Chains A and B, each alone.
Chain A
């Protein structure tokens, strides 16, 4: 359902944009500022309505858009899965650009290969040097092929560990972004020790004395997600999902029928609210109605606040407290 609604909304978006383009330069600037923040837009829009030639038309279209978007306020789990996988959803590149400064990319596991499905390096968050890394997806098919759709091989997990070990050495907090269909199930991945690579990450992450915060931004599936997600705090975007396996895989294992994935979504308890209740997620970060892909600026601003709050809390703790806090979080589950 949400797919249809968003298609309608996108059409309206396009029309509104087209009309806005024909406006005078000032109106265009105005609309741009409005596009980033609906509240600001409203107040200014009223003021300038008199000379805004398409104002009324745009208003009408926006009303229509809001009408459609109202149906997106409460989404079913499978609709959330759809949004979590939306190709225009903000990905790690966008988060690094939107939340961090002075990013320096670090490539490769320095053992065997460079796995582009994991992206990361050193950056500043509110001026604090941190190590930031995560699964990498693209906004186009080409980019997604290049990044293997965010499915790491062992080399990706070993690269992540290399970066995190340096963070531990230099006392930098670690911020990871989780967005993966899972670890890559390929022949070479097995031959190079996919299981070993994930296991070692879990073991080593449990020992870090620096704060670790993980943000599930899209889909977090299986050990492939957890391998960079053993954290003191787990934040989830409102429409992100986190589960043992993809709904398709789940349906295929349980019912030998991957077409029953929507049914699986209902049972899997994979939404941010479910994870909060299970004590896995610590806080949910609000998204704009209709999904994060509709308004990056709002997502960044919401996430920035929550992330900074948790980082501040963790930085007030001693290194041993930070380590014990993380171990206790997982020790309590199950």
Chain B
């Protein structure tokens, strides 16, 4: 194996979780209305059903910390590089204000939360992109957090799980945003060359530079039902071809039938599916 680049140069800081804190970070209102059928119910009821509407089956986007609480063994969560905060490399007009608003709205520092924890007792590195923060767009800090977490997984020989959700590039960061695609893809390739298992888990929406980098490089690719997954956005495609796109185009089910997804997994089966896959790869 070629020696790893720079892992030592970027020390990993692990913030310990006290257990119950993950659920508290689920910043949703007390009453939640389904965007698809209009069903209104208590947050607790939504939580009990993993935020899937029991009437129409519509998947509601969930926050990064909440997803981690569904996936990881209780009390096993440790956050990696929690102190990496969003920055403004281009000094772009109004960007700092917008970042601040996103932080206040979501309670997140950036669109990616990276963690080390356990699933069924197996140590794993889990990366979650949160679509509520700037549409999960790829900023230089998102790229940096992903890269550091992947390097950490490589070093520790832990399986890697990435829940992708992204509207694409972080426009305000320009070329720095674009270059994160090369940086993260290289880190995944090193991880893969070292024999690591990478499960790419696509959630709504996964588009643009995230699709065209780490999200498409999994050994196993899973998707949540009905998620929009693609490179170009549907609006851009329609403008280019001057046609309406067929219903279901670029949805998980469409990608599965076109050969890009191994399996579509219900949220209620998320943890058990991951555990099964990790155990199948245990030597």
In the complex, B232 has a CB within 8 A of chain A: yes
Please name the residue on chain B nearest to A323 by beta carbon: B2
B182, B193, B209, B216: the one within 8 Å of A207 (CB): B193
CB distance from B67 to the nearest CB of A (A): 22
Q: With a 10 A CB-CB cut-off, give which of A184, A186, A244, A253 has the most chain B CB atoms.
A: A244
A residues bordering B, Cβ < 8 Å? 183-187, 189-191, 193-196, 198-200, 202-207, 222-223, 226-227, 230, 242-245, 249-250, 253-254, 267-270, 274-275, 278, 280, 320, 323-324, 327-328, 330-331, 333-334
- Per DSSP, are chain A's interface residues mostly helix, strand or loop, or mixed? helix
Residues of B within 8 A of A183 (CB): 212, 231-232
Q: Are A187 and B144 in contact (CB under 8 A)?
A: no
Please provide the 5 A-B residue pairs with the shortest distance between their CB atoms, ordered closest to farther: A334-B140, A206-B186, A185-B232, A195-B211, A202-B185
> Please, how many angstroms separate the alpha-carbon atoms of A254 and B237 in the complex?
18
Shortest C-beta distance, A256 to chain B (Å), equals 11
A199: B residues at CB distance < 8 A: 181, 185, 211-217
Q: How far is the CA of A34 from the CA of B267 in the complex (A)?
A: 72
Interface of B is mostly: helix
Interchain Cβ contacts under 8 Å between A and B, 13 examples: A185-B236, A190-B231, A195-B216, A199-B185, A202-B186, A203-B192, A222-B169, A226-B182, A242-B175, A330-B179, A333-B179, A334-B176, A334-B180
Query: In the complex where A187-B249, A199-B212 touch, is A222 in contact with B183 (Cβ < 8 A)?
Result: no
- Complex Cα gap A186–B179 (Å): 24
Does chain A have a CB within 8 A of B121? no
**A6 smallest CB distance to B (angstroms):** 27
The CA of A245 and the CA of B143, in the complex, are separated in Å by 18
Tell me the smallest distance from the CB of A333 to a CB of chain B, in Å.
4
Please report which residues of chain B, range 231-248, place their CB below 8 angstroms from some CB of chain A when the two chains form the complex. Answer: 231-233, 236-237, 240-241, 243, 245
Residues of B within 8 A of A203 (CB): 185-186, 188-189, 192, 217
Chain B residues with CB under 8 A of A328 = 5-6
Given known A-B contacts A186-B237, A187-B245, A199-B217, A206 and B171 have beta carbons under 8 A apart: no
| Residue in A253, A269, A323 whose beta carbon sits within 8 Å of that of B174 in the complex | A269
Task: Name the residue of chain A whose CB is nearest to the CB of B179.
Answer: A333
Query: Which residues of A are found within 8 Å of B93, using beta-carbon distances?
Result: 267
- Chain B residues whose CB sits within 8 angstroms of the CB of A324 once the complex forms: 2, 5
Q: Quote the shortest CB–CB distance from B168 to chain A (angstroms).
A: 8
